[in-house]
Amino acid sequence: MHIYRCTLTIQESLYYATREMGTLYETGRYLHNYALSYALFQNTRIQVPYFCTSYRPTYADDLTPLVEAGIYVTPAQPMQIDYLLVTWKIGQVSYYRKSEQFGGRNYPANIGRAKEIAPESTFSCYVLSAEPLKLPRWIRLGKWHSKAMVEVAEVTLKEAEGDYTAAAPLNPLDLPGGILRAFDIISMPPASLVANARCSGRYYRLEQGLGLPLDMRYTFPKP
């Protein structure tokens, strides 16, 4: 197994709606492993058409090639992070659209604020692969397809067994059963993650007391 530690440096403001609170759309502190998988392997192992006829996601179909290739991407955690608060307003064009100033709510429907991750924020994640990989230098993330630089370093690993702390956030859907002992829940779509996870079982030892679980793979609940 090859394990690569990836450091992501955001080059443009990064936005995705983790929480929506009235007119405020907030970007969370963590990057989901589904989003990172698309960003790292789009047009190589994942083929998604430019135009989609449906808003329904097809994670299982899209990420199955990574499962078949023995590749897995962990969620990313912030190393250094700053935020921007952006206010936006959509002009109403009354000659072809009925005015929606209040939209049935007590605030204008065409005004909002987005809490975005600022440029030069950094994140780290891990990519596990059964075969050697060449990862891209640049990727695109978020609603605005913001540019991010990827710095990759392969890490030395050794298999071990026992208690350890996970070296990265984890997607609990993708873990073997019974390894989680304590954790903090990160509530975010499309599937909540866990951080600061204390685990027990077989793992890849990265540092003293730090590691990643063996046998992680993309798993999707049945519809």
pLDDT tens-digit series, residues 21-55: 877 889 999 999 999 999 999 888 888 877 777 77
- Residue 96, pLDDT above cutoff 60: no
Q: State the CATH architecture for 2-213.
A: 2-Layer Sandwich (3.30)
pTM score, whole prediction: 0.87
pLDDT in tens, 100-130: 554 555 555 667 888 999 999 999 999 999 9
Q: Which residue has the tokens 């599937």?
A: 191
Q: Who contacts 1 (Cβ-Cβ below 8 Å, separation ≥6)?
A: 128, 129, 130, 157, 204
Mean pLDDT of 193-199: 95
Please list the alpha-helical segments (H only) found in the chain: 33-41, 59-68
Q: Domain limits of the chain?
A: 2-213
- Distances in whole angstroms, Cα of residue 28 to Cα of each of 6, 81, 84, 97: 19, 11, 12, 33
Q: What is the pLDDT of residue 87?
A: 87
Q: So what's the pLDDT on residue 100?
A: 54
Half-sphere exposure of 34 toward its Cβ, with a 13 Å CA cutoff?
19
Beta-bridge partners for 205: 158, 211
